[in-house]
């Protein structure tokens, strides 16, 4: 993810980014923005590109198992983040307020539409 952002940023200097993932992909997103996860660490998006990342979205993020969210774990990306953890989703700790759809419900519970609206708002505001 970090390499893709770097190469795209170099080729397209006016591009803004919305990044994110579901489940393991959310962990990859965490690593890309510099949050240590149970998977360890990896390459992060360079600090100079952080202003071009306008939104960070996570669905079923395992970071929740450790009592964290992107908002609490990253002062840089937290204000730009939106996370979904359904009640009953044991992958992210299941403490969310969404309906009890569990880990497989994000595609049909309205979360994707909420994420798209958030990304559009973030792009417009930046």
Please tell me which residue in 23, 27, 81, 111 is annotated as part of the active site: 23
If phi > 0 it is left, if psi is from -120 to 50 it is alpha, else beta; for residue 94 that is left
Asked if residues 64 and 93 have their Cβ atoms less than 8 Å apart, the reply is yes
Which candidate in 30, 74, 81, 89 is catalytic? 89
- Could you give the count of Cα atoms lying within 13 Å of 92 in the half-sphere of its Cβ? 32
* Residue 23 annotated to the active site: yes
Distances (CA, A) of 98 to 3, 47, 106: 33, 33, 10
Catalytic-residue membership of 89: yes
C-alpha distances (whole Å) from 6 to each of 43, 49, 108 are 11, 8, 32
SS3 52: helix
Query: Is 103 part of the annotated catalytic residue set?
Result: yes
Residues classed as catalytic: 23, 89, 103
């Amino acid at each position: 993810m970090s390499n893709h952002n770097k190469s795209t940023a170099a080729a397209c200097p006016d591009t803004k980014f919305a990044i994110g993932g579901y489940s393991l992909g959310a962990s990859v997103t965490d690593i890309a923005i510099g949050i240590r996860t149970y998977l360890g660490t990896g390459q992060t998006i360079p600090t100079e590109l952080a202003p071009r990342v306008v939104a960070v979205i996570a669905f079923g993020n395992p970071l929740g198992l450790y009592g964290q969210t992107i908002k609490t774990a990253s002062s840089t990306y937290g204000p730009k983040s939106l996370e979904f953890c359904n009640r009953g989703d044991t992958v992210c700790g299941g403490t969310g307020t969404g309906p009890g759809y569990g880990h497989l419900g994000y595609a049909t519970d309205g979360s994707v539409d909420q994420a798209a609206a958030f990304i559009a708002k973030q792009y417009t505001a930046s």
